[in-house]
């Protein structure tokens, strides 16, 4: 019995990873969880999501999110051990904890898992991260990430946030718009790209500066 459960798990997960290599991801566990939370709180359902290929997004958006979330995205294979080491060291020193999740890990969590801690969920995240790095490649991971990431209250993906917060398609987002969207990603329910605070504007400026270094590093690698 256990053997068949294990085979079913690995077979089904590999199948879904293979399907999502080519097919748009129209719904994620987080979208469903947020909708359930809205209903349980007696709120109106809010779910704005429109899948678009990465070619229909501003070329500055991937650079902005890498600058904000994962500057070694093109170099690592799903896990940034340099950032993990820094996070462990800061925790040992009693400093404020910071995240070390890569864009690949966040994509695996967004598409296949749920928010929260625990070793079991973290183990699944490692498993799915390794799978998508192996099967998808960097461009597809970025495409799925930019389409599935939460970017506001009931807002998911680049096209939805571009239309709702800036009034035009993701393809027409300016460099400054992209940096502002990326600035919200640590906590998109707290920070808004539509009505940015002074802190958000400072973070936007920092990301714009970082984007130059990320672009330079990518060109040197080519």
- Asked whether residue 220 carries a pLDDT value surpassing 90, the answer given is no
- Asked whether residue 159 carries a pLDDT value surpassing 70, the answer given is yes
SS3 of the chain: CHHHHHHHHHHHHHHHHHHHCCCCCCCCHHHHHHHHHHHHCCCCCCCEECCCCHHHCCCHHHHHHHHHHCCCCCCCCCCCHHHHHHHHHHHHCCCCCCCCCCHHHHHHHHHHCCCCCCHHHHHHHHHHHHHHHHHCCHHHHHHHHHHHCEEECCEECHHHHHHHHCCCCHHHCCHHHHHHHHHHCCCCCCCCCCCCCHHHHHHHHHHHHHHHHHHHHHHHHC
pLDDT band at 100 (very low <50, low <70, confident <90, very high): low
Mean pLDDT to the nearest integer, 195-202 = 94
pTM: 0.91
pLDDT band at 86 (very low <50, low <70, confident <90, very high): low
Mean pLDDT to the nearest integer, 177-190 = 93
The top-scoring range by mean pLDDT among 70-79, 94-103, 135-144, 184-193 is: 135-144
Q: What percent of the chain has pLDDT over 90?
A: 69
Other Cβ atoms less than 10 A from the Cβ of 169: the count is 16
Structural domains in the chain, sorted by start? 52-69+78-221 (1.10.3810.10)
- Residue 53: the pLDDT is 97
Of 27-41, 45-59, 92-106, 122-136, which gets the smallest average pLDDT?
92-106
CA atoms within 13 A on the CB side of 218: 14
């Amino acid at each position: 019995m256990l053997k068949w459960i294990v085979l079913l798990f690995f077979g089904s997960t590999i199948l879904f990873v293979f399907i999502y290599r080519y097919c748009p991801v129209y719904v994620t566990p987080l979208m469903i969880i947020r909708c359930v939370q809205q209903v349980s709180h007696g709120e109106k359902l809010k779910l704005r999501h429109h899948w678009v290929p990465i070619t229909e997004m501003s070329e500055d958006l991937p650079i902005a999110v890498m600058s904000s979330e994962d500057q070694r995205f093109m170099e690592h294979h799903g896990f940034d051990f340099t950032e993990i080491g820094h996070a462990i060291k800061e925790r040992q020193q009693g400093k404020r904890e910071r995240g070390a999740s890569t864009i690949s890990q966040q994509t695996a969590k967004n598409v296949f898992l749920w928010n929260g801690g625990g070793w079991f969920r973290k183990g699944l995240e490692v498993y799915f991260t390794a799978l998508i790095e192996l099967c998808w490649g960097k461009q597809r991971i970025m495409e799925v990430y930019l389409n599935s990431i939460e970017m506001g209250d009931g807002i998911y993906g680049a096209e939805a946030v571009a239309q709702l917060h800036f009034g035009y398609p993701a393809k027409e987002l300016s460099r400054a718009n992209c940096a502002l969207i990326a600035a919200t990603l640590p906590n998109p329910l707290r920070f808004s790209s539509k009505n940015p605070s002074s802190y958000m504007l400072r973070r936007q400026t920092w990301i714009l500066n970082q984007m130059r270094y990320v672009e330079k590093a990518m060109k040197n690698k080519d």
